[in-house]
Amino acid sequence: MASVTVRGWALGTVSLLNFAFVFISGSDFIRFISFRAIYHNITGETTLCQDSIPWSVALQDSSVLRCLIVDLGLLALFTTQHSLLAWSPVKQALQSVLGPLNRTAYCFTTALALQILVRYWQPVTGAPCLWSVRHAPWSIWFPLLCFTLHFICWAIICSILMIFDYPELLGLKQVYYECLGLGDPLSHKSPHAQRFLSHLRHPVCLELGVVLWLLPALSLDRLLLAGILSTYLALAHSLDKQDLAYLCVQINRKMQLLAQPHRGIASATDRDNSNHKEK
């Protein structure tokens, strides 16, 4: 019994530490991919590009090519980790070794790959921008519009992750269920939910697409980042009409649950008013 308790505490500690690391990495990634890029343009001026340099000269510059190669390697590291550990043979092998910590290990390595990408990313400052909003009044209003839309997109992404069982997504529930002897949390979900999650683990493609592409200035390294991640998102899922129907049903149920307390308050108020009138 004591050994089981110690094992449970150890699994829980590892899982919570991983949760903290994933949270920090996610915050750094949001700052890197979204708000830091907008902050450089919030005054309408940008130091990310050299529009006076022709493309033919910029693409032959060794410093530009070196930055692009480093950035391409960082993106290859992230996509390889994200795909390799999700491949069924690798996933089954890790499951046999790590057990309930399999999902925790996947999230940890994903967060680690994102940290490496964020910290070693090389901006390309020696090439022109593909576009840059610099003329008043849009030099002020467009960055503010981008900031607002990015904030809304990240809020939607966080809401979707909460709806789709955030503890299970990060591996917390796997450890909790293991300590209680309940098995894999996915086995307790409906067949429709299991089918949906097997096709796409986090359905936030549209919002990430807006965040990747909607910027006041699009530099060459940002084009590489947005292009590769958008392509990866498009190729990584296999959703169909049945998954879409299931998603719509789940959203409608969540909205009904959120509306129930208000309905309860409204019905209670109506009953009180009717009782008052009868008196």
Q: Could you report the per-residue pLDDT of 175-206, keeping only the tens digit for each?
A: 888 888 888 787 777 787 777 777 666 667 78
- The range of the structural domain enclosing residue 210 comes to 1-259
Contact (CB, 8 A) for 128 and 50: yes
Q: Report whether pLDDT(161) > 90.
A: no
| Tokens found for residue 251 | 């959203």
Phi and psi at 41, nearest 5°, equal -115, 5
Q: What is the DSSP letter of 50?
A: -
Judge whether 225 lies within some domain.
yes
Q: How far apart are CA 234 and CA 206, in angstroms?
A: 10
The larger pLDDT score, comparing residue 265 to residue 232, is at: 232
**Number of folded domains that form the chain:** 1
Residue 279 covered by a domain: no
In a domain, 152, yes or no: yes
Structural domain includes residue 141: yes
- Give tens-digit pLDDT for 75-128: 999 999 988 988 889 988 988 888 888 888 999 999 999 999 999 999 888 888
Classify residue 54 by its DSSP letter.
-
**pLDDT at residue number 10:** 81
Residue 269 has pLDDT above 70, yes or no: no
In a domain, 74, yes or no: yes
Instruction: Please indicate, yes or no, if residue 275 is contained in any of the structural domains.
Output: no
pLDDT of 16 above 50:
yes
For residue 123, tell me if it sits in a domain.
Answer: yes
* pLDDT at residue 279 in the model: 41
Does the global pTM surpass 0.85? no
The 3 state secondary structure assigned to the chain is CHHHHHHHHHHHHHHHHHHHHHHHHHHHHHHHHHHHHHHCCCCCCCCCCCCCCCHHHHCCCHHHHHHHHHHHHHHHHHHHHHHHCCCHHHHHHHHHHHHHHHHHHHHHHHHHHHHHHHHHCCCCCCCCCCEECCCCCHHHHHHHHHHHHHHHHHHHHHHHHHHCCHHHHHCHHHHHHHHHCCCCHHHHCCHHHHHHHHHCCCCCHHHHHHHHHCCCEECHHHHHHHHHHHHHHHHHCCCCHHHHHHHHHHHHHHHHHHHHHHHHHHHHHHHHHHHHHHC
SS3 127: coil
137 domain-assigned: yes
72, pLDDT greater than 90: yes
Mean pLDDT of all residues in 131-152: 83
Least confident of 43-52, 169-178, 239-248: 43-52
